[in-house]
Amino acid sequence: MTDIPTNPPDPGASGQQTSTFPANWSPPPFIKNPLLRWGLLLGLILYLFLSIGSLDVNWHRIYVGLDRGAKFVYGFMNPNFAGRWTDISEGMIESLVMTVTSTAIGIAISIPIGFGAARNLAPLPVYLFCRGIIALSRSFQEIIVAILFVAIFGFGPLAGVLTLSFATIGFLSKLLAEDIESIDKSQAEAVKATGSAWWQWLNYGIQPQVMPRLIGLSLYRLDINFRESAVVGLVGAGGIGATLNTAFDRYEYDTAAAILILIIGIVMLSEYISGYIRTGVQ
């Protein structure tokens, strides 16, 4: 076979101009402006230098603490369920109870707010109001909200339930609103063209399209709320968190490991069940 020419063949009689191709090629840089590119790179290196420098690791402390770390790993190997079983079971049940309550309340509140935050359904003032609530709910970490609610409502699981319900709004309403905004318009339009009232239009045109995702998201949120409920106890809002904190404080790592293993087990179980339900709903 002849070699592949590096120059294009001369078209000859047509008299067009020939051009030579460049000898090699490399992909164009991600950031076109070289000043910006190098500037960003230098800035990044400078930042990394400063931040890692500020880490101030006390290696001696870590060496001493490694001893405790080993105790923890050892505790994980033989978790102690029996020793503090009453505390553990009470805490776990309280966490589960908080999860169910807060998810139910959260879903009930999130659905109207989610519908109100969908631009294609809601008038502008309602839309802005609902989006404001969602932004508020998402800005604050659950622990911070829990601290505030404990201060207002007192210690106990109620503060935790209110915290998690509030957090659910930010999650569920936002995703629901996004799903509503991306529905197939022609399906809803066809229902409108039959002369249906607004509620019927929601029920036949919008709901069938968003229902599967709503169910999936609710199950996911159930899982998230359980994991969060294990933590809000640290600030006094009820659940297994308080028991866990006590175990850590007393260096009872075997009990702590038992609690952690239980949490992981319940999360795995819920993941399995929710996957099953979700395929059923599809």
Partner 1 sequence: MAETLSSGTKVWQYRSRNKQLLSWFIWLIGTALFMYCWQRVSESTTWFFVWDAPRIAADIGSRMIPPRWSYINELWEPLWDTLNIATIGTMMAIVMALPVAFLAARNTTPSTRFIRPLALLIIVSSRSINSLIWSLLLVSIMDRAWWQE
Partner 2 sequence: MLEIKQLVKKYNTGDLAINGVDLKVKKGQVMALIGPSGAGKSTLIRCVNRLENPTSGEIWLNGENIVKMRSGKLRRARRNMGMIFQEYALVERLTVMENVLSGRLGYVGFWRSFLRKFPQSDINAAFGLLEKVGLDTMVNKRADELSGGQRQRVGIARALIQKPDILLVDEPTASLDPKTSRQIMRLITELCEENQLAAIINIHDVALAQMYAERIVGLREGSIVYDGPPDDLKPDVLTEIYGKEDWTAVRKRKPKKKMSIEEDPTTEEHMEEMQ
Three-state SS at 7 = coil
How many binding residues for partner 1 (CB under 8 A)? 49
Q: Decide if residue 24 touches partner 1 (CB under 8 A).
A: no
Q: Decide if residue 264 touches partner 2 (CB under 8 A).
A: no
Q: Decide if residue 194 touches partner 2 (CB under 8 A).
A: yes
Site for partner 1 in 144-203 (CB under 8 A): 148, 151-158, 161
Nearest to 97 by CA among 85, 109, 89: 89
Nearest to 88 by CA among 276, 258, 209: 258
Among 65, 212, 265, 275, binds partner 2 (CB under 8 A): 212
Give the CA angle between residues 110, 116, 119 to the nearest 5°: 130
Q: Decide if residue 182 touches partner 2 (CB under 8 A).
A: no
- Could you count the other beta carbons within 10 Å of the beta carbon of residue 28? 7
Q: Identify residue 2 by its one-letter amino acid code.
A: T
Write the CA distances from 45 to 31, 48, 93, 177, integer angstroms.
17, 5, 49, 40
Residue pair 212/281 in contact (Cβ under 8 Å)? The answer is yes
The phi and psi torsions of 33 (rounded to 5 degrees) equal: -70, 115
Residue pair 164/150 in contact (Cβ under 8 Å)? The answer is no
Of the candidate spans 100-108, 158-166, 187-195, 252-260, the one that interacts with partner 2 by CB under 8 A turns out to be 187-195
Site for partner 1 in 217-236 (CB under 8 A): 227-228, 230-231, 234
Q: Decide if residue 244 touches partner 1 (CB under 8 A).
A: yes
Among 68, 132, 211, 277, binds partner 1 (CB under 8 A): 68
Among 195, 249, 272, 279, binds partner 2 (CB under 8 A): 195
Binding partner of 154, given partner 2, partner 1, none, CB within 5-8 angstroms per partner class: partner 1
DSSP letter at 110? H
Query: Tokens at residue 237, please?
Result: 């809002």
- Residues at the contact surface with partner 2, assessed by CB under 8 A: 1-2, 184, 186-187, 189-197, 199-201, 203-205, 208-209, 211-212
- Residues at the contact surface with partner 1, assessed by CB under 8 A: 47, 51-52, 54-55, 58, 61-62, 64-66, 68-69, 72, 93-94, 97-98, 100-101, 104, 143, 148, 151-158, 161, 227-228, 230-231, 234, 238, 244-245, 248, 251, 256, 260, 263-264, 267-268, 271
